[in-house]
Amino acid sequence: MKKLTIFISGGGSNFRAINDAIDQNLIAGEIVSVVASKRVCPGAEYARSIGLPVSIFPETGMSEADLLLQLQNYGTDYIILAGYLKLIPKEIVAAYRKRMLNIHPALLPAFGGKGFYGKRVHQGVLDTGAKITGVTVHIVDELYDHGPIIAQAPVEVRRGDTADTLAGRVLKMEHRLYPRVVGAICRGDLVWEGEIPFIDPPLSMEND
Ligand code: GRF
């Protein structure tokens, strides 16, 4: 059973999707703790409501060393970033190299990096006329939205889309993709070809 710590900053809908998949026995993992960048956000409220310990970083001034120690004390095998908006300290990236994931609401390496968050991602897609956007799950390194890509799923851009309508359809796809990727990782299906990760056997997006 892999132990997971989820990092959030806002709504926490991906966190909930992963938690629901665990409850349905679709992921052989356990969420041991949640880290939120702010004390008050719906994701943190939800975590507290189901009895999970929530740490606040960096808003309360907790040090990087203390956060790392805490992650290790919880036995965290994998860190799952789910809408966490702060850059992860280098010390934590180093300790969890190849064991920290992020989800991004576009097909990286396009429409990612500093400043591409929330609606700005989807507006960026619309402004170029791109016809396919989607979801990317990738390994976290020292830069925003930068590490090697684990899995992607497409979402079509439709005539009349706004950043809001597109965000809604992309978020639905996130809720399908992220639990599957986390499930595969907990099964030990993440394999590395040098510095490039693959899920093997490949994910199936069917059955929902
Ligand atoms: C998602 O769109 C995710 O891709 C991005 O931040 C958003 C988080 O949403 N990194 P939620 O907090 O999971 O609802």
Whether residue 42 is predicted with pLDDT greater than 90 in this model: the reply is: yes
Q: How high is the pLDDT of residue 114?
A: 85
ω into residue 148 within 30 of 0, thus cis?
no
Residue 52 C-alpha from the chain's centroid: 18
Identify the pLDDT of residue 207: 67
104 lines ligand 1 (CB under 6 A): yes
Residue 83 CA to ligand 1 center (angstroms) comes to: 4
Answer yes or no: is pLDDT of 53 > 80: yes
Model confidence at 52, in pLDDT bands (50, 70, 90)? very high
The secondary element (H helix, E strand) that includes residue 32 is: strand 29-36
Q: What are phi and psi of 90, to 5 degrees?
A: -55, -40
The arithmetic mean of pLDDT across residues 29-50, rounded, is 97
- Positions annotated as catalytic residues are 104
Residue nearest to atom 5 of ligand 1 (CA): 83
Decide if pLDDT at 208 tops 80.
no
Amino acid 99: pLDDT: 98
Q: Distances in Å between the alpha carbon of 192 and those of 20, 29, 76, 121?
A: 28, 21, 21, 29
In ligand 1, the atom with minimum distance to the C-alpha of 81 is 10
Taking CB atoms within 8 Å and a gap of at least 24, the contacts of 186-192 are: 186/1, 186/2, 186/4, 186/27, 186/28, 186/29, 186/78, 187/28, 190/150, 192/98
Nearest CA to ligand 1 atom 9: 83
Q: What angle do CA 184, 98, 199 make, to 5 degrees?
A: 30
Q: Measured from the CB, is residue 169 less than 6 Å from ligand 1?
A: no
pLDDT per residue over 190-199, tens digit each?
999 999 999 9
Q: Find the 9 Cα to ligand 1 centroid distance in Å.
A: 8
Q: How far apart are CA 71 and CA 177, in angstroms?
A: 25
Give the model's pLDDT for residue 206.
Answer: 78
Mutate to test the pocket of ligand 1, among 7, 14, 19, 114 (most ligand atoms within 8 A of CB): 14
Contacts of 15 (CB under 8 A, 6+ apart): 6, 8, 34, 43, 46, 47, 80, 82, 83
Q: Does any ligand 1 atom lie closer than 6 A to the CB of residue 2?
A: no
Closest to 95 measured CA to CA, from 70, 122, 68: 68
Indicate whether 155 pLDDT > 70: yes
**pLDDT tens, position by position, 97-140:** 999 999 999 999 999 998 899 999 999 999 999 999 999 999 99
Share of the chain above pLDDT 70, in %: 99
The helix/strand/coil state of 1 is coil
Would you state the pLDDT for residue 59? Answer: 81
Q: What is the pTM of this model?
A: 0.96
pLDDT reported for residue 67: 97
